[in-house]
């Protein structure tokens, strides 16, 4: 008897797509700047840090790999400015150059958020666990390309280009052990993601009671917010 059930297989390129989606989602939301990735992926022999700002993270666990994002100065500054301006930072307090430590710190923070989202997705969809190193940011000279050793057994390396709403380009490079995940039984993906920023935004958009009107026991948005946060 022929089994008509289709086996689900997740390849290294499927994992790359999940990472690309995390990059686009986190940077778009953080910077209020639409970030898109190319539909075509480039096979490369090795990954490296390139100008103007390079950031890398090594992860291991269920599978191992190395993630590098090489930002041009223009792309880094566009994302950095969009992120801090959306948080209420005054224009005159922003760094003027991509070589500023503040720019590196912000891009490192965003890299952490990207990997956090990626790891959460991997945990839910592939039922495996990976851990990441602390993101490292380097301002790279035009004449340099720095290789990072990740000690992979059978590395597969890919490069994907991303673009900002202003047309500035940056590149994601992923080197990962050749691997496949094969689903052998049905399972339910638990969605336990909790987005505190989204909850706060929803709370701020709720109509507030007039200061002159006493608030009833049934109309306590602040208490509801604290309850939702578990406080």
Predicted local distance difference test score (pLDDT) of residue 154: 86
Say whether pLDDT at 129 is over 50. yes
Give me the helices (H) in 87-218, please.
Answer: 101-126, 196-204
Please compute the mean of the pLDDT values over residues 45-74 and round it to a whole number: 94
Give the residue extent of every domain in the chain: 9-182, 196-209+217-229
Please compute the mean of the pLDDT values over residues 68-90 and round it to a whole number: 96
Tokens matching residue 214: 């006493």
pLDDT band at residue 224 under the 50/70/90 scheme: low
DSSP H/E element including 155: strand 155-163
Q: What is the pTM of this model?
A: 0.79
Predicted local distance difference test score (pLDDT) of residue 218: 53
Contacts with 189 (C-beta within 8 Å, 6 or more apart), sequence order: 124, 125
Predicted local distance difference test score (pLDDT) of residue 150: 80
Q: Counting Cβ atoms within 10 Å, is residue 83 exposed (0-12), middle (13-18) or buried (19+)?
A: buried
β-bridge mates for residue 70, sequence order:
54, 171
Predicted local distance difference test score (pLDDT) of residue 199: 42
Query: φ, ψ for residue 71 (rounded to 5)?
Result: -95, 135
- Of residues 198 and 131, more confidence is placed in 131
Interhelix angle 196-204/221-229, rounded to 10 degrees, is: 180
Mean pLDDT, the chain, whole residue set: 84
Say whether pLDDT at 40 is over 50. yes
Predicted local distance difference test score (pLDDT) of residue 210: 42
pLDDT band at residue 168 under the 50/70/90 scheme: very high
Say whether pLDDT at 219 is over 90. no
Predicted local distance difference test score (pLDDT) of residue 1: 43
Predicted local distance difference test score (pLDDT) of residue 161: 98
- 9-182 is classed CATH 3.40.1550.10: yes
């Amino acid at each position: 008897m022929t089994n008509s059930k289709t086996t689900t297989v997740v390849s290294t390129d499927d994992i790359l797509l999940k990472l690309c989606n995390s990059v686009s989602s986190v940077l778009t939301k953080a910077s209020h700047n639409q970030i898109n990735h190319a539909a075509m992926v480039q096979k490369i022999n090795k990954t490296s840090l390139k100008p103007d700002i390079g950031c890398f993270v090594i992860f291991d666990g269920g599978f191992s790999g190395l993630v590098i994002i090489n930002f041009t100065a223009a792309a880094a500054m566009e994302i950095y400015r969009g992120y801090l301006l959306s948080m209420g930072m005054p224009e005159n307090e922003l760094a003027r150059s991509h070589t500023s430590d503040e720019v590196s710190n912000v891009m490192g923070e965003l890299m952490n958020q990207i990997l956090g989202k990626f790891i959460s997705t991997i945990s839910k969809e592939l039922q495996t666990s990976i851990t990441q190193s602390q993101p490292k940011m380097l301002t790279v000279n035009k004449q340099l390309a720095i290789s990072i050793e990740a000690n992979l057994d059978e590395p597969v390396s890919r490069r994907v280009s991303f673009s900002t709403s202003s047309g500035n380009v940056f590149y994601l490079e992923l080197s990962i052990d050749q691997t496949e995940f094969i689903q052998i039984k049905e399972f339910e993906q638990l969605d336990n993601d909790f987005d505190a920023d989204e909850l706060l935004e929803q709370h701020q958009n709720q109509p507030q009671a007039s200061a002159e009107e006493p608030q009833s026991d049934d109309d306590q948005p602040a208490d509801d917010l604290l309850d939702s946060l578990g406080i």
